[in-house]
Protein backbone atom coordinates (compact mmCIF):
# COMPACT_ATOMS: atom_id res chain seq x y z
CA UNK A 1 0.00 0.00 0.00
CA UNK A 2 1.33 3.38 -1.02
CA UNK A 3 1.85 5.80 1.84
CA UNK A 4 2.10 9.50 1.13
CA UNK A 5 4.51 10.24 3.97
CA UNK A 6 7.36 8.34 2.31
CA UNK A 7 9.60 10.08 -0.12
CA UNK A 8 9.45 9.18 -3.76
CA UNK A 9 12.80 9.06 -5.44
CA UNK A 10 13.46 8.79 -9.11
CA UNK A 11 16.96 8.26 -10.37
CA UNK A 12 17.75 9.43 -13.86
CA UNK A 13 20.89 7.86 -15.18
CA UNK A 14 20.18 8.00 -18.87
CA UNK A 15 23.08 9.35 -20.93
CA UNK A 16 20.80 11.35 -23.27
CA UNK A 17 19.05 12.99 -20.34
CA UNK A 18 22.26 13.84 -18.56
CA UNK A 19 23.84 15.22 -21.75
CA UNK A 20 20.83 17.51 -22.33
CA UNK A 21 20.94 18.60 -18.70
CA UNK A 22 24.70 19.22 -18.97
CA UNK A 23 24.04 21.60 -21.85
CA UNK A 24 21.21 23.39 -20.03
CA UNK A 25 23.18 23.74 -16.81
CA UNK A 26 26.45 24.54 -18.64
CA UNK A 27 28.33 21.69 -16.99
CA UNK A 28 31.61 21.27 -18.87
CA UNK A 29 34.58 18.91 -18.61
CA UNK A 30 36.08 17.79 -16.36
CA UNK A 31 32.68 18.10 -14.63
CA UNK A 32 29.74 15.91 -15.54
CA UNK A 33 26.28 15.10 -14.21
CA UNK A 34 26.54 11.71 -12.60
CA UNK A 35 22.89 11.33 -11.67
CA UNK A 36 19.69 13.21 -10.97
CA UNK A 37 17.48 12.60 -7.97
CA UNK A 38 13.88 13.79 -8.00
CA UNK A 39 12.07 13.88 -4.67
CA UNK A 40 8.38 14.44 -5.40
CA UNK A 41 7.41 14.65 -1.72
CA UNK A 42 9.77 17.56 -1.06
CA UNK A 43 9.46 18.91 -4.63
CA UNK A 44 13.22 18.93 -4.97
CA UNK A 45 15.60 17.97 -7.75
CA UNK A 46 19.25 17.22 -7.01
CA UNK A 47 21.84 17.09 -9.77
CA UNK A 48 24.88 15.16 -8.61
CA UNK A 49 27.95 16.56 -10.32
CA UNK A 50 31.33 14.89 -10.25
CA UNK A 51 34.71 15.41 -11.88
CA UNK A 52 36.28 12.90 -14.27
CA UNK A 53 38.83 10.51 -12.81
CA UNK A 54 42.38 11.68 -13.43
CA UNK A 55 41.36 15.35 -13.52
CA UNK A 56 43.77 17.98 -12.31
CA UNK A 57 42.88 21.28 -10.66
CA UNK A 58 44.95 24.38 -9.92
CA UNK A 59 46.39 24.73 -6.45
CA UNK A 60 44.72 27.75 -4.79
CA UNK A 61 48.15 28.92 -3.54
CA UNK A 62 50.42 28.60 -6.58
CA UNK A 63 48.01 27.83 -9.49
CA UNK A 64 50.04 24.71 -10.37
CA UNK A 65 47.95 21.83 -11.77
CA UNK A 66 47.71 19.14 -9.11
CA UNK A 67 46.24 15.69 -8.75
CA UNK A 68 43.14 15.14 -6.66
CA UNK A 69 43.63 13.98 -3.08
CA UNK A 70 39.96 13.35 -2.24
CA UNK A 71 36.57 14.99 -2.53
CA UNK A 72 33.28 15.44 -0.75
CA UNK A 73 29.83 16.62 -1.79
CA UNK A 74 28.52 20.14 -1.14
CA UNK A 75 25.03 21.32 -2.01
CA UNK A 76 24.08 24.64 -3.62
CA UNK A 77 20.58 25.91 -4.35
CA UNK A 78 20.10 26.66 -8.04
CA UNK A 79 17.25 28.11 -10.09
CA UNK A 80 13.96 26.25 -9.76
CA UNK A 81 12.81 23.81 -12.41
CA UNK A 82 9.09 24.45 -12.86
CA UNK A 83 7.95 24.43 -9.20
CA UNK A 84 10.68 22.13 -7.90
CA UNK A 85 13.63 23.49 -5.93
CA UNK A 86 16.81 22.55 -7.74
CA UNK A 87 20.09 21.81 -6.01
CA UNK A 88 23.54 21.20 -7.42
CA UNK A 89 25.35 18.58 -5.36
CA UNK A 90 28.95 18.96 -6.41
CA UNK A 91 31.76 16.65 -5.44
CA UNK A 92 34.33 19.26 -4.51
CA UNK A 93 37.88 18.00 -4.81
CA UNK A 94 40.83 18.68 -2.53
CA UNK A 95 44.12 18.69 -4.39
CA UNK A 96 47.54 17.61 -3.22
CA UNK A 97 50.17 20.15 -4.17
CA UNK A 98 53.83 19.08 -3.89
CA UNK A 99 54.64 22.50 -2.41
CA UNK A 100 51.54 23.35 -0.35
CA UNK A 101 50.10 19.98 0.65
CA UNK A 102 46.40 19.10 0.62
CA UNK A 103 44.27 22.14 -0.24
CA UNK A 104 40.56 22.68 -0.75
CA UNK A 105 39.56 24.40 -3.96
CA UNK A 106 38.53 28.02 -3.46
CA UNK A 107 36.81 28.45 -6.84
CA UNK A 108 34.26 26.49 -8.83
CA UNK A 109 32.79 27.43 -12.23
CA UNK A 110 29.21 28.37 -11.21
CA UNK A 111 29.21 28.96 -7.49
CA UNK A 112 31.06 30.68 -4.72
CA UNK A 113 32.40 28.56 -1.90
CA UNK A 114 31.20 31.09 0.72
CA UNK A 115 27.50 30.62 -0.03
CA UNK A 116 24.95 27.85 -0.45
CA UNK A 117 23.55 29.40 -3.64
CA UNK A 118 24.70 29.11 -7.25
CA UNK A 119 25.77 32.30 -9.04
CA UNK A 120 22.67 32.17 -11.26
CA UNK A 121 20.45 31.86 -8.19
CA UNK A 122 22.17 34.84 -6.54
CA UNK A 123 21.90 36.93 -9.73
CA UNK A 124 18.22 36.10 -9.99
CA UNK A 125 17.59 37.18 -6.38
CA UNK A 126 19.65 40.37 -6.85
CA UNK A 127 17.52 41.23 -9.89
CA UNK A 128 14.36 40.64 -7.84
CA UNK A 129 15.64 42.93 -5.05
CA UNK A 130 15.29 45.85 -7.45
CA UNK A 131 11.57 45.21 -7.94
CA UNK A 132 10.22 43.18 -5.01
CA UNK A 133 9.96 43.34 -1.22
CA UNK A 134 12.09 40.98 0.88
CA UNK A 135 9.01 39.05 1.98
CA UNK A 136 7.91 38.64 -1.66
CA UNK A 137 11.38 37.35 -2.58
CA UNK A 138 11.38 34.98 0.43
CA UNK A 139 8.00 33.65 -0.67
CA UNK A 140 9.19 33.25 -4.28
CA UNK A 141 12.28 31.24 -3.29
CA UNK A 142 10.34 29.48 -0.52
CA UNK A 143 12.54 30.49 2.38
CA UNK A 144 11.89 32.35 5.58
CA UNK A 145 13.24 35.89 5.82
CA UNK A 146 16.19 34.75 7.94
ZN1 LIG B 1 50.63 24.83 -4.58
| Tens of pLDDT, residues 76-129 | 999 998 889 999 999 999 999 999 999 998 888 888 888 899 989 988 888 888
- Domain boundaries along the sequence of the chain: 9-140
Distance 128 CA to ligand 1 centre (A): 40
Exposed (0-12), middle (13-18) or buried (19+): which is 119, by Cβ within 10 Å?
Answer: middle
Whole-number average pLDDT of the chain:
85
* Confidence check: pLDDT of 74 > 60: yes
- Which of 25-29, 113-117, 136-140 is the least confident region? 136-140
Structure confidence at residue 9 (pLDDT): 52
Ligand 1 ion: residues within 5 Å (CB): 59, 61-62, 97, 99-100
Is pLDDT above 60 for 10? Answer: no
Beta bridge partners of 78: 86
Give the distance (Å) from ligand 1 centre to CA of residue 70. 16
Q: What is the pTM of this model?
A: 0.80
pLDDT score of 5 more than 80:
no
Eight-state DSSP code of residue 73? E
| Mean pLDDT of the region 132-137 | 86
Q: Identify the residue with better confidence: 5 or 45.
A: 45
Residues 67-79: what's their mean pLDDT? Answer: 95
Q: Is the dihedral of CA 37, 42, 44, 48 positive or negative?
A: negative
**Alpha helical stretches, state H, the chain:** 15-25, 119-129, 134-140
Distance 60 CA to ligand 1 centre (A): 7
State how far the Cα of 45 lies from the Cα of 84, in Å rounded to an integer: 6
Amino acid sequence: MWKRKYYVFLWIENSITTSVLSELFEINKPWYIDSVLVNHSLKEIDLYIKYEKGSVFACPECEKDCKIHDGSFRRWRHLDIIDYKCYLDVKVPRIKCPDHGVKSLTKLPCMRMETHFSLKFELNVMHDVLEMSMSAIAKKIRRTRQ
